[in-house]
Amino acid sequence: MLNRQVTLKSHVSGVPKEENFEMIETPIPEPGEGEFVIRNLYFSLEPAIRGWLDGKENYFPPIPLGGVVRGPSVGRVVKSNNPDYQPGEVVFALNHWEDYSVLDSEAILLQKLHPKGDTPLSYYIGPLGGSGTTAYVGLHDIGHVKEGQTVVVSAGAGATGSMVGQIAKQRGCTVIGIVGSDDKVKLITEELGFDHGINYKTTDKLSDAVMKLAPEGVDIYYDNVGGPTLNEMLLTMKVQSRIVCCGMIADYNDTDNPNPITNLWEVVARQLTMQGFLLHFYSEKVPAALDQLEKWIAEGKIKVMEHITHGIANTPKAYGELMSGKTTGKALVQLDLPEENG
Amino acid sequence: MLNRQVTLKSHVSGVPKEENFEMIETPIPEPGEGEFVIRNLYFSLEPAIRGWLDGKENYFPPIPLGGVVRGPSVGRVVKSNNPDYQPGEVVFALNHWEDYSVLDSEAILLQKLHPKGDTPLSYYIGPLGGSGTTAYVGLHDIGHVKEGQTVVVSAGAGATGSMVGQIAKQRGCTVIGIVGSDDKVKLITEELGFDHGINYKTTDKLSDAVMKLAPEGVDIYYDNVGGPTLNEMLLTMKVQSRIVCCGMIADYNDTDNPNPITNLWEVVARQLTMQGFLLHFYSEKVPAALDQLEKWIAEGKIKVMEHITHGIANTPKAYGELMSGKTTGKALVQLDLPEENG
A186-196 pLDDT per residue, tens: 999 999 999 99
Distance from CA of A142 to the nearest CA of B (A): 10
Mean pLDDT is highest, among A46-55, A169-178, B250-259, B329-338, for: A169-178
Residue B258, pLDDT score: 87
Residues of B in contact with A263 (CB under 8 A): 258
If one looks up domain B130-297 in CATH, what number appears? 3.40.50.720
Length, in residues, of chain B: 342
pLDDT of residue A341 exceeding 90, the answer is: no
How far apart, in whole angstroms, are the C-alpha atoms of residue A180 and residue B42?
Answer: 55
pLDDT class for B338, splitting at 50, 70, 90? Answer: low
pLDDT class for B340, splitting at 50, 70, 90? Answer: very low
Chain B nearest-CA residue for A257: B262
The answer to whether A59 contacts B245, with C-beta atoms less than 8 Å apart, is no
Task: Return the CATH fold of B2-126+304-341.
Answer: Quinone Oxidoreductase; Chain A, domain 1 (3.90.180)
pLDDT of residue A337 exceeding 90, the answer is: no
Residue-wise pLDDT tens digits, B136-165: 999 999 999 999 999 999 999 999 999 999
Residue-wise pLDDT tens digits, A70-117: 999 999 999 999 999 999 999 999 999 999 999 999 998 899 998 888
Instruction: Inform me whether the C-beta atom of residue B143 falls under 8 Å from chain A C-beta atoms.
Output: no
How far apart, in whole angstroms, are the C-alpha atoms of residue B97 and residue B49?
Answer: 11
Cα dihedral: B143, B144, B145, B150 (round 10): -60
B253 close to B14: Cβ distance less than 8 angstroms = yes
The answer to whether B246 contacts A269, with C-beta atoms less than 8 Å apart, is no
Residue-wise pLDDT tens digits, A124-172: 999 999 999 999 999 999 999 999 999 999 999 999 999 999 999 999 9
Neighbour tally for B236: CB within 10 Å? 23
Residues of B in contact with A253 (CB under 8 A): none
Residue A340, pLDDT score: 44
pLDDT of residue B311 exceeding 70, the answer is: yes
The answer to whether A248 contacts B264, with C-beta atoms less than 8 Å apart, is yes
B167 close to B136: Cβ distance less than 8 angstroms = yes
Residue B342, pLDDT score: 40
- Taking residues A234-259, report their average pLDDT: 90
Query: Which ipTM was obtained for this model?
Result: 0.90
- Nearest CB among B271, B276, B281 relative to A276 is that of B271
Domain ranges of chain B: 2-126+304-341, 130-297
Average pLDDT score over chain A: 94
- Taking residues B310-335, report their average pLDDT: 96
Distance from CA of A261 to the nearest CA of B (A): 5
- Taking residues B57-76, report their average pLDDT: 92
Chain B nearest-CA residue for A271: B276
Instruction: Inform me whether the C-beta atom of residue B248 falls under 8 Å from chain A C-beta atoms.
Output: yes
pLDDT of residue A342 exceeding 70, the answer is: no
- Nearest CB among A262, A268, A276 relative to B245 is that of A268
Residue A248, pLDDT score: 86
Residue A338, pLDDT score: 54
Residue A188, pLDDT score: 97
Instruction: Inform me whether the C-beta atom of residue A86 falls under 8 Å from chain B C-beta atoms.
Output: no
Q: Strands, DSSP E only, in chain A?
A: 2-8, 21-27, 36-44, 70-80, 90-96, 100-103, 111-113, 150-154, 174-179, 196-199, 218-223, 237-245, 273-276, 306-310, 330-334
CATH of A135-298, one of 3.40.50.880, 3.40.50.720, 3.30.470.10, 3.30.565.10: 3.40.50.720
- Taking residues A318-333, report their average pLDDT: 95
Query: How much of chain A, in percent, has pLDDT values that exceed 70?
Result: 99
Chain A nearest-CA residue for B266: A276
Instruction: Inform me whether the C-beta atom of residue A141 falls under 8 Å from chain B C-beta atoms.
Output: no
Instruction: Inform me whether the C-beta atom of residue B269 falls under 8 Å from chain A C-beta atoms.
Output: yes
Residue-wise pLDDT tens digits, A249-270: 887 777 788 889 999 999 999 9
Instruction: Inform me whether the C-beta atom of residue B261 falls under 8 Å from chain A C-beta atoms.
Output: yes
Distance from CA of B277 to the nearest CA of A (A): 5
Instruction: Inform me whether the C-beta atom of residue A57 falls under 8 Å from chain B C-beta atoms.
Output: no
Residue-wise pLDDT tens digits, B75-121: 999 999 999 999 999 999 999 999 999 999 999 889 999 888 888 99
DSSP type of residue A202: G
The answer to whether A276 contacts B268, with C-beta atoms less than 8 Å apart, is yes
The answer to whether A281 contacts B240, with C-beta atoms less than 8 Å apart, is yes
Query: How much of chain B, in percent, has pLDDT values that exceed 70?
Result: 99
**A249 three-state secondary structure:** helix
- Nearest CB among A240, A262, A267 relative to B245 is that of A267
- Taking residues B26-36, report their average pLDDT: 96
Average pLDDT score over chain B: 94
The answer to whether A276 contacts B278, with C-beta atoms less than 8 Å apart, is no
CA angle A236, A238, A239 (to 5 degrees): 130
Residue-wise pLDDT tens digits, B176-218: 999 999 999 999 999 999 999 999 999 999 999 999 999 999 9
Instruction: Inform me whether the C-beta atom of residue B283 falls under 8 Å from chain A C-beta atoms.
Output: no
- Taking residues A290-308, report their average pLDDT: 95
Instruction: Inform me whether the C-beta atom of residue A270 falls under 8 Å from chain B C-beta atoms.
Output: yes
